[in-house]
């Protein structure tokens, strides 16, 4: 009987030792707790601020204020702040829309005429990019459920307020450096493309 108790006790002790070792290994490799390396760079948001909240990086301020194009129509101002060709074959366009009308603007006139994208409501689903050199028009990308890869203006934008937006498109060929960004009811905006990192 004593031999059996000794074997059970040894197994229990081995299980505790292995479990403790695994817990310490996982804790040491986590790296996401925020107290780790100071070399990690915080990611940028569309407002030009880093996720960590610091605004120490002086190079981010001019980038956030940079305006590639600005168009106005019916009291709405559409500003484009970046048009970046990503490595994955996408073109991501970011900007800001400001409501200068006398009431709430919901963006319903910017929705797409395509049946698949109509359920996106007030959004940039109707936006497109035209490559005049290649004579091609690129429509906004969508996921498998028909939702556009773009900003949806849920609840609308109040008078004299602005909202950041984005829209993703298939990237034009490498040789194309200029495109026209078109949104329904707005004049086209000529954009210089930049290369992503």
State the pLDDT at residue 3: 58
pLDDT for 104-159, tens place per residue?
988 888 887 776 777 777 888 889 999 998 899 999 999 888 888 999 888 889 99
| CATH topology assigned to domain 66-195 | Immunoglobulin-like (2.60.40)
> Pick from 141, 163, 143, 167: which is nearest to 154 by CA?
163
pLDDT at 6 over 80: no
Task: Report pLDDT for 14.
Answer: 52
Tokens of 197: 């990192």
> pLDDT category, 13, cuts 50, 70, 90?
low
pLDDT at 168 over 90: yes
Output helix, strand, coil percentages for the chain, rounded to the nearest 5: 20, 30, 45
The CA distance from 161 to 38, in Å, is: 37
The Cβ of residue 122 has, within 10 Å, a number of other Cβ atoms equal to 19
Provide φ and ψ at 23, rounded to 5°.
Answer: -60, -45
Three state DSSP letters for 60-104: HHHHHHCCCEEEEECCEEEEEEEEEECCCCEEEEEEEEEECCCCC
- State pTM to two decimals: 0.65
pLDDT for residue 51 is more than 70? no
Q: Which of 91, 66, 84, 52 is nearest to 197 (CA)?
A: 84
Look over the chain and give the mean of its residue pLDDT values, rounded to a whole number.
75
CA dist 80 and 71 (Å) reads 9
* CB contact at 8 A, 93 and 189: no
Percent of the chain with pLDDT over 90: 40
Structure confidence at residue 165 (pLDDT): 95
- The mean pLDDT value for 175-195 works out to 92
Q: Is the pLDDT of residue 20 over 60?
A: no
């Amino acid at each position: 009987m004593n031999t059996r108790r000794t074997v059970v006790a040894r197994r229990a002790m081995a299980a505790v030792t292995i479990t403790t070792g695994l817990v310490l290994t996982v804790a040491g490799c986590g790296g996401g707790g925020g107290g780790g390396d100071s070399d990690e760079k915080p990611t940028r948001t569309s407002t030009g601020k880093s996720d960590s909240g610091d605004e120490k990086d002086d190079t981010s301020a001019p980038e956030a204020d940079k305006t590639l194009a600005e168009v106005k129509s019916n009291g709405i101002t559409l500003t484009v702040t970046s048009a970046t060709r990503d490595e994955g074959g996408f073109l991501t366009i970011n900007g800001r829309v400001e409501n200068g009308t006398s009431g709430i603007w919901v963006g319903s006139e910017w929705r797409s005429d395509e049946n698949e994208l109509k359920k996106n409501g007030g959004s940039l689903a109707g936006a497109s990019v035209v490559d005049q050199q290649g004579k091609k028009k690129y429509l906004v990308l969508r996921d498998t459920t028909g939702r556009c890869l773009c900003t949806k203006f849920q609840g609308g934008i109040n008078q004299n307020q602005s909202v950041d937006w984005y829209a993703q498109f298939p990237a034009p060929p490498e040789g194309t450096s200029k495109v026209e960004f078109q949104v329904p009811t707005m004049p086209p905006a000529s954009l210089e493309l930049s290369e992503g990192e």
